[in-house]
């Protein structure tokens, strides 16, 4: 059974003058510990697909199964629990909460899961250490560089040891050197902890290190044609 | 406190903190809090004025009329027997239970609640003279009747200071009257002995104590204390004096706190009243009773009627003045209702604030949902935000309302025409429990409006919030 599986996903934005069909029957599956890169032109629907896989958005048609459990059938509490425990998100623009310190940002999922403050803080410090940010724990996002903010976002995604991390252009907002560093941390989570990784990226070079590469084209996913 | 509650408190404290909020939201929050503060203050002032009037009138009525009046089918010719029965009467807890069951549990409960609220003043500004000896009442045992005194009512015309007035002469027993009445009596000679004053030989046919307003209208004082009293024809023929005009000398004035009473009544000793009005030696109009708890007057009155038999009727102070009291209570209820509606309108401002807050915090809501916070918990964060504004408004409203009401009472800022309103300045009675209940009511209204708004707003899809760049 696939860890995460999307079957015939359609997504149509009907609130515009002309309805836009972003996804047109996309199929996707990822196994435990696997890493998959998804490429595609801007506006192809990569982020939409990732949001639907993570339960942040609902498909117009089709279904998403997480270890055989259909996300569309879950109620608000169950879906929240899925997002908290089963998946971690990394976004292009980091999406840290500006009122919270790096440590607080990284321990938020643990607090939301109902862990005590001490345990959440222990886990938060542990993941921040792993990202090389031990000395930046008490800083707020505004005081951190883009790369540091993205590493805090990685720490936050990893703090609950989810089964999959869904990364939406994690290096898209960073310079090449910082991007590579962040990418390394992301791959490390996949290799060292066995967390499955779905990464949407424009950078073909980075994707080469992942076990599979797919391309989103005309609303459907297809294997990437390897350039020799 | 569960971890779930703690995390909501932790996130709410940061997201609802005014630090870093745009000015427009800060202004909106200040406007909402001010609206609630003004509504709460208006509600407290309205209720305090309503209570002030009710309490002032009630106390004045209780002072002048006693708590229960026992009357016969006509005049009572054997008052000593009736008095003996009443003094021996005990209102047992069995009676109370039995009669409460007959009147219904609601009546008994309301009586209890009213009794509690009657005694719950935080700050009170009513004329001192109408404050009956509450301490004595509270100390008294709960046996029902704690004092009884006979009285005789007769009508007469009086002439004095070039004025003619129709008055009610109340014959009282000075020895027992004080135990029943809380009226303030000021004797011209400065003494406190009512019995001595009403029975002293002044050279006139009788001595009287006149109502304060009546004394003022007739120009009666220590040096001009003589007035003529015309006894109705059928009475003067029966009287020992046999004359139509009787000379009376005022020895003091009384003040009940109610202009109507103070302008229409005169007190005379019971034996002299009988003599002047030709009543039989033992006859009285009725017997006034003071109870340990006037709010239970109806239950005690019912027990007394059972005790004395069908010839006698026990009339309670609130039955006797039902029209006035129900008018005052209606006014109190209506003003509280209007102010309560105003409060609900003010609380709706919180909804507008929450809508602005959720639009401003859409991005954070989406992130929190992506991290696993449920719609319900996101809603709770914003309910706390609404409550935070509301609690500031309520606290400010309590301070403002109590402050203004206390100032109106303490400095008599709003004088009234005593002839119309029966009191000379706006009476205020601020009740701690009532203020507490109003604060709880406001908090409940704000909670409900916040809940409705927050839960609706929290259902936004995380992907939509993430797409919004602020």
Does any CB of chain A come closer than 8 Å to the CB of residue B5?
no
Which of A64, A77, A112, A120 has the highest number of chain B CBs within 10 A, making it the mutation to test binding with B? A112
Contact: A156, B371; criterion CB under 8 Å: yes
**Which DSSP category does B425 fall into?**
B
- From the list A76, A89, A113, the residue facing B370 with the nearest CB is A89
pLDDT at B192: 80
Q: What does the block give as tokens for A72?
A: 């569309």
**Nearest CA distance, B352 vs chain A (angstrom):** 23
Interface contact flag, A114 B372, Cβ < 8 Å: no
Q: Does B141 touch chain A (CB under 8 A)?
A: no
B340-372 burial, b at 16+ Cβ within 10 Å, e below that, comes to: bebbeebbbbbbebbbbbbebbbbbbbbbbbbb
Integer Cα distance of A137 and A129 in angstroms: 9
- The model's confidence at residue A89, banded by pLDDT at 50, 70 and 90, is very high
Residues of A in contact with B363 (CB under 8 A): 95
Residues 180-219 of A with CB under 8 A from B: none
pLDDT at residue number B129: 36
> Between the CA of residue B288 and those of B41, B151, B303, what are the distances in Å?
41, 7, 15
Closest residue to B463, CB basis, from A56, A79, A113: A56
pLDDT of residue B110: 57
Give yes or no for A11 touching B (CB within 8 A).
no
Do B466 and A91 lie within an 8 Å CB cutoff?
A: yes
Of A56, A81, A84, nearest to B462 by CB-CB distance is A56
Verify whether the Cβ–Cβ distance A111 to B3 is below 8 Å. Answer: yes
Q: Closest Cα of chain B to A227: distance in Å?
A: 33
> How near does any CA of chain B get to the CA of A225, in Å?
30
Chain A, nearest residue to B3 by Cα = A114
Residues 6+ apart with CB under 8 A from B110: none
- Residue B368 to residue A97, Cβ atoms within 8 A: yes
ipTM: 0.94
Per-residue pLDDT at B237: 65
In this structure, are residues B224 and B201 in contact, taking their beta carbons and an 8 Å threshold? no
- Output the 3-class SS for A65-128: EECCEEHHHCCHHHHHHHHHHCEEEECCCCCCCCCCCHHHHHHHHHHHCCCCHHHHHHHHHHHH
A110-132 burial, b at 16+ Cβ within 10 Å, e below that, comes to bbbbebeeeebbebbbebbebbe
pLDDT of residue B239: 65
The predicted-structure confidence for B373-390, as pLDDT tens digits, reads as follows 999 999 999 899 889 999
- What is the SS3 assignment for B340? helix
Q: How far away is chain B from the Cα of A109, in angstroms, using its nearest Cα?
A: 6
- What's the full length of chain A, in residues? 228
Selecting from A97, A111, A114 the residue whose C-beta is nearest the C-beta of B364 gives A97
Q: What is the mean pLDDT of residues A85-110?
A: 95
Question: What's the pLDDT band for A204 if we cut at 50, 70, 90?
Answer: confident
Answer yes or no: pTM beyond 0.90.
no
* H-type alpha helices, B66-140: 79-88, 93-103, 105-118, 134-139
Rounded to the nearest integer, the mean pLDDT of chain A is 92
| Closest by Cβ to B3, choosing from A91, A100, A114 | A114
Which of the residues in chain B have pLDDT under 70? 1, 96, 100-143, 233-242, 469-470
Give the separation between CA A13 and CA B463, rounded to whole angstroms: 13
Q: Which residues of B touch A93 (CB under 8 A)?
A: 469
pLDDT digit string, tens, across residues A142-194: 999 999 999 999 999 999 999 999 999 999 888 888 899 999 999 999 999 99
Name the residue of chain B whose CA is nearest to A168's CA: B466
pLDDT of B140 reads 41
């Amino acid at each position: 059974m696939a860890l995460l599986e999307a079957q015939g996903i359609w997504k149509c934005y009907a609130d515009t003058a002309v309805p836009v069909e972003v996804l047109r029957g996309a199929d996707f599956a990822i196994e435990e510990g696997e890493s998959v890169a998804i490429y595609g032109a801007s506006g192809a629907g990569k982020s939409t697909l990732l949001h639907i896989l993570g339960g942040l958005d609902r498909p117009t048609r089709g279904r998403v199964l997480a270890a055989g459990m259909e996300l569309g059938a879950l109620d608000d509490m169950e879906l929240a629990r899925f997002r908290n425990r089963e998946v971690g998100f990394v976004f292009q623009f980091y999406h840290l909460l500006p009122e919270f310190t790096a440590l607080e940002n990284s321990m938020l999922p643990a607090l939301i899961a109902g862990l005590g403050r001490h345990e959440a803080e222990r886990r938060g410090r542990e993941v921040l250490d792993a990202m090389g940010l031990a000395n930046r724990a008490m800083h707020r996002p505004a005081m951190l560089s883009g790369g540091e903010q993205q590493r805090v976002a990685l720490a936050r995604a990893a703090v609950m040891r989810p089964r999959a991390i869904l990364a939406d252009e994690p290096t898209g907002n960073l310079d090449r050197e910082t991007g590579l560093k962040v990418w390394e941390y992301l791959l490390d989570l996949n290799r060292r902890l066995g967390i499955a990784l779905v990464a949407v990226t424009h950078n073909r070079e980075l994707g080469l290190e992942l076990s599979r590469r797919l391309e989103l084209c005309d609303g459907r996913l297809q294997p990437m044609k390897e350039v020799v | 406190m569960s971890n779930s509650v703690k995390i909501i408190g932790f996130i709410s404290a940061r997201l609802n903190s005014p630090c870093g909020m745009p000015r427009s939201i800060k202004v909106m929050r200040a406007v909402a809090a001010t609206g609630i503060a003004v509504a709460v203050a208006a509600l407290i002032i309205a209720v305090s004025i309503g209570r002030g009037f009710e309490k002032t009138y009630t106390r004045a009525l209780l002072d002048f009329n006693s708590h229960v009046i026992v009357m016969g089918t006509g005049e009572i010719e054997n008052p000593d027997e009736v008095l003996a029965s009443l003094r021996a009467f005990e209102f047992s807890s069995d009676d109370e239970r039995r009669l409460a069951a007959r009147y219904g549990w609601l009546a008994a409960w309301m009586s209890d609640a009213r009794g509690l609220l009657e005694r719950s003043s935080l700050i009170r500004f009513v004329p001192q003279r109408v404050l009956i000896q509450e301490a004595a009442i509270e100390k008294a045992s709960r046996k029902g009747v704690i004092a009884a005194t006979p009285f005789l009512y007769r009508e007469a015309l009086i002439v004095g200071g070039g004025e003619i007035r129709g008055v009610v002469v109340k014959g009282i027993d000075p020895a027992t009257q004080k135990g029943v009445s809380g009226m303030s009596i000021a004797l011209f000679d400065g003494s406190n002995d009512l019995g001595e004053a009403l029975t002293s030989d002044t050279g006139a046919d009788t001595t009287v104590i006149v109502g304060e307003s009546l004394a003022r209208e007739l120009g009666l004082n220590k040096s001009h204390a003589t007035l003529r009293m015309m006894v109705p024809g059928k009475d003067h023929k029966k009287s020992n004096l046999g004359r139509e005009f009787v000379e009376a000398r005022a020895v003091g004035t009384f003040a009940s706190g109610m202009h109507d009473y103070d302008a229409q009544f005169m007190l005379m000793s019971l034996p002299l009243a009988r003599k002047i009005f030709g009543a039989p030696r033992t006859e009285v109009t009725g017997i006034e009773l003071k109870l340990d708890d006037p709010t239970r007057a109806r239950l005690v009155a019912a027990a007394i009627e059972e005790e004395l038999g069908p010839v006698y009727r026990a009339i309670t102070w609130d039955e006797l003045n039902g029209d006035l009291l129900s008018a005052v209570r209606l006014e109190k209820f209506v003003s509280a209702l209007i102010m309560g509606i105003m409060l609900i309108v003010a609380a709706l401002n919180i909804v507008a604030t929450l809508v602005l807050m959720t639009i401003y915090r859409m991005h954070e809501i989406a992130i929190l949902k992506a991290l696993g916070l449920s719609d319900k918990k996101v809603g709770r964060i914003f309910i706390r935000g609404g409550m935070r504004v509301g609690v500031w408004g309520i606290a400010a409203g309590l301070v403002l309302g109590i402050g203004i009401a206390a100032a109106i009472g303490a400095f008599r800022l709003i004088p009234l025409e005593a002839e119309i309103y029966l009191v000379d300045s706006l009476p205020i009675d601020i009740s701690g429990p009532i203020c507490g209940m109003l604060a709880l009511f406001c908090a409940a209204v704000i909670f409900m409006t916040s809940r409705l708004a927050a839960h609706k707003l929290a259902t936004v899809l995380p992907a939509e919030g993430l797409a919004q760049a602020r």
